[in-house]
Amino acid sequence: MNYRTFGRTGWKISEIGYGMWGLAGWTGSDKEEVLRALQRAVDLGCNFFDTAWAYADGVSEEILNQLLKNNPDKQLYAATKIPPKNRQWPSKPESKLADVFPADYIVEYTEKSLKNLGVETIDLQQFHVWEDAWSDQDEWKEAITKLSQQGKVRAWGLSVNRWEPDNSLNTIRTGLIDAVQVIYNIFDQNPEDNLFPLCRELNIGIIARVPFDEGTLTGTFTKETTFPASDWRSTYFVPENLNSSVDHADALRPLIPDGMSMPEMALRFILSNPDVHTTIPGMRQIRNVEANIAASDGNGLSTELLRELKGHRWDRTPTEWSQ
């Protein structure tokens, strides 16, 4: 495992982190299997774990609590998120801060996460949605400053809405944000335009989420793929999205180097960008952990392949199904 310095926090974090959304709302989640996979990740050098209160109403945080307790001798970083009070993902331009993140609510859910994680200080507390129009409002600033001063949070971050990387720039410029979590993968390259340069300038940590485009970049989907009604992807991969996603993935197949899988190429694309400090694939099984962490060997993709992959950028805008 290779490690990168997480912006101005100075933390040395594994460039392959662990996304813990897959513990809820997805098909095939088994708690005991997940705990074994999490421990295997720790054993292989993963030290950055990203969860959220919204992942099964704190259950994912409690699972991370168990992992932390099982590894008291290791420096593991726990990142979580405050859910929007109105429970709307993503937030909308007309959303009001008072309805989404009022000050007392920020404090309340930070306390909930502290309890669920079983820690005295949260390493990285993030806002699970965000509108840059809130950047100049004092309520959230005063709340996070107080929590930091009380020693309850070490660093603060934004989880940027899907396909809206620029909906964060003014907030980052306030100086109160230490990290951003943004969708970045072979298709979603638009964070490179404005977000990454600003983060580089201000030394902000970057977490690349959705490295496999919700599964498209595993190369396993077909236009006949279906998901159970209880699986979040059943509402995301509507025919319009599934058909186009499969077409975009199929167009990549001729570019995959010999001996490499599409998921490995997808991870190596992200890790080839030095602006990214960690990427957080979801991993429910040990075989996924081992395969993904194997990509952290310091070998990026060739300049020629990266140039070809740049041509597969797929700019998308939020729609009714893209929460």
Which tens digits make up the pLDDT trace of 212-226? 999 999 999 999 999
On whether the CB atoms of residues 298 and 272 are closer than 8 A, the answer is: no
pLDDT interval class at 26 (50, 70, 90): low
- Average pLDDT of the segment spanning 244-249: 96
Which pLDDT does position 84 carry in this prediction? 98
CB neighbour list of residue 306: distance below 8 Å, 6 or more residues apart: 269, 272, 300
Superfamily of domain 3-218+261-308: NADP-dependent oxidoreductase domain (3.20.20.100)
Which tens digits make up the pLDDT trace of 171-196? 999 999 999 999 999 999 999 999 99
Is omega for the bond preceding 90 within 30 degrees of 0, making it cis?
yes
Q: Is pLDDT of 21 > 70?
A: yes
- Average pLDDT of the segment spanning 275-301: 95
- Average pLDDT of the segment spanning 107-130: 98
Of 23-32, 56-65, 72-81, 158-167, minimum mean pLDDT range: 23-32
Pure H helices in 44-175: 59-70, 97-100, 103-117, 138-149, 169-172
- Average pLDDT of the segment spanning 268-278: 98
* Both structure tokens of 102: 């009022």
On whether the CB atoms of residues 77 and 124 are closer than 8 A, the answer is: yes
- Average pLDDT of the segment spanning 276-281: 98
Which pLDDT does position 297 carry in this prediction? 96
Q: Where exactly are the structural domains of the chain?
A: 3-218+261-308
pLDDT interval class at 23 (50, 70, 90): low
Q: Is pLDDT of 323 > 80?
A: no
Chain-centroid distance of CA 143 in Å reads 23
pLDDT interval class at 321 (50, 70, 90): confident
Cα angle value 84/90/95 (rounded, 5°) = 70
Which pLDDT does position 232 carry in this prediction? 83
Q: Is pLDDT of 27 > 80?
A: no
- Average pLDDT of the segment spanning 232-252: 94
Distance CA 106, CA 148 (A): 12
Question: Residue 96: is it exposed, middle or buried by C-beta count within 10 angstroms (0-12/13-18/19+)?
Answer: middle
Backbone angles phi, psi at 310, to 5 degrees: -60, -30
- Average pLDDT of the segment spanning 26-49: 86
What whole-number percentage of the chain has pLDDT above 90? 90
Distance CA 37, CA 41 (A): 6
